[in-house]
Amino acid sequence: MKRLGIAAMVLCVCGMSAMADQVTLKNGDRLTGTIVKTDDKEETLLIKTELAGDVSVKWEAITSIVSSQPLHLALKDGQTIVGTVTTEAGTFEVTTKTTGEVKAAKENVTHVRNDAEQAAHDAEIYRLQHPRLTDFWSGLLDTGLSVTSGNSSTMNFTLAAKAARVTSRDKISVYTTAVYGKNNATDPSQTIAHEIRGGVRGDLNVSDKVFVFGFTDFGYNALQHLDLQNVLGGGMGYHAIKTARTTFDVFGGGSYNQEYFSAYTLPTVPPTSFPSMTTKNGEIVIGESLDSKITSRTTVSENFTFFPDLSNTGNYRYAFNSNITTKLKNWLGWQVTFNDNYISNPPTGLKGNDLLFATGLRLTFGKGVF
């Protein structure tokens, strides 16, 4: 009985070994376990072993693979062959269910995955091709603050936030900017800046170079007595440059601009009062945008949009925004921003330019865009 038990244990161990995958290295070592996948970045093969856990070996160090489970071998020509693998004279021999034995040279294999990893890979590819609205968002939060006291007493605060969802097919952007400044040296204290702008834009690629877009923008400016600006527009654009480091787009279209100004009084002698006013204008939209990664840590972005007024020929407005950011950490950076919003026909007695120069910290989340 004792001999019978020992024999049974030997058969069991041999059976387990026979059912496992085996990888042979150039130095003659052999690893037995379950082949999981190759790592493209590290150029390694991951094997789950019973005693050593997960083991990664260099792909170039492997001379032979024998698998008891089906493996998915992706080739340089785009084909994928599936089946159990043996190795003969440095060539992988894959026993498939449909075409029998297929040979593949090791240097022609780009990926190796087991069934579970292939299913996960296919699911990720499907997600990339059919993303949900909640997928692929990234964003930023820019902050700037200055405070003075003593002979002067002021406080200035800037805040900008942006989120974007970018896929190979489309892009959705949501953005807002707020500026607030106060002079506490006067009695009563005086607001010296109070402006909020924001909007939503969607871009849809109709080809590798051509895209269509639509947007809506909102604005408020207390010192310009602008209670609400609402712009709705759209058009077509062209990807003039689209590389891993730089994108440069030009675009054109049309928009409908509505502005609601409140009544105000100028401090003239005697004071001059002006009634509330509403303007509604059709506009042409002409613009460009640039995003470039100039070093591994520094990025530059800039966009300029020009809006000639179709309802009142000769009037126009433009918006110019630029930013340079240097990363301090993956989620933290230092940014410098310059914005210029201009209208050629401001309310009587008020200025048409609103300039902003700000610097401060940038917080980011997500991957890819910022």
Kindly state whether residues 22 and 88 are assigned to the same domain: yes
Kindly state whether residues 78 and 148 are assigned to the same domain: no
Q: How many CA atoms lie within 13 A of 340 on its CB side?
A: 12
Handedness of CA 71, 74, 80, 81 (dihedral sign): negative
Whether residue 169 is contained in a domain is answered as yes
Whether residue 219 is contained in a domain is answered as yes
Kindly state whether residues 61 and 210 are assigned to the same domain: no
Whether residue 149 is contained in a domain is answered as yes
> Cα separation of 161 and 145, whole Å?
15
> Which pLDDT score is estimated for 252?
98
Position 9 pLDDT exceeds 60: no
DSSP summary character for residue 28 = S
The count of domains in the chain is 2
Kindly state whether residues 75 and 158 are assigned to the same domain: no
* Pairing label, strands 100-105, 277-293: unpaired
Contact between residue 112 and residue 123 where contact means Cβ atoms under 8 Å apart: no
> Cα separation of 71 and 94, whole Å?
9
**Mean pLDDT (the chain, rounded):** 90
Position 232 pLDDT exceeds 60: yes
Kindly state whether residues 255 and 165 are assigned to the same domain: yes
> Cα separation of 37 and 17, whole Å?
20
Residue whose entry in the numeric block shows the structure tokens 């909640």: 134
Kindly state whether residues 167 and 288 are assigned to the same domain: yes
> Which pLDDT score is estimated for 148?
87
- Range of the structural domain that residue 111 is part of: 2-129
Condensed to tens digits (0 to 9), the pLDDT of residues 161-217 reads 999 999 888 999 999 999 999 998 887 888 889 999 999 999 999 999 999 999 999
Residue type, 280: K
Kindly state whether residues 116 and 147 are assigned to the same domain: no
Position 6 pLDDT exceeds 70: no
Position 157 pLDDT exceeds 90: yes
Condensed to tens digits (0 to 9), the pLDDT of residues 297-349 reads 999 999 999 999 999 999 999 999 999 999 999 899 999 999 999 999 998 88
Contact between residue 365 and residue 139 where contact means Cβ atoms under 8 Å apart: yes
Kindly state whether residues 195 and 290 are assigned to the same domain: yes
Contact between residue 303 and residue 334 where contact means Cβ atoms under 8 Å apart: no
The total number of residues shown for the chain amounts to 370
Kindly state whether residues 51 and 192 are assigned to the same domain: no
Handedness of CA 55, 60, 64, 68 (dihedral sign): positive
Region 105-128 average pLDDT = 92
Position 16 pLDDT exceeds 60: no
Token readout for 339 is 């914005």
Whether residue 370 is contained in a domain is answered as no
Say how many C-beta atoms besides its own lie within 10 A of residue 189's C-beta: 13
Looking at 129, 155, 176, which one is the last position of a domain? 129
Whether residue 34 is contained in a domain is answered as yes
> Comparing C-alpha atoms, which of 15, 28, 11 is closest to residue 68?
15
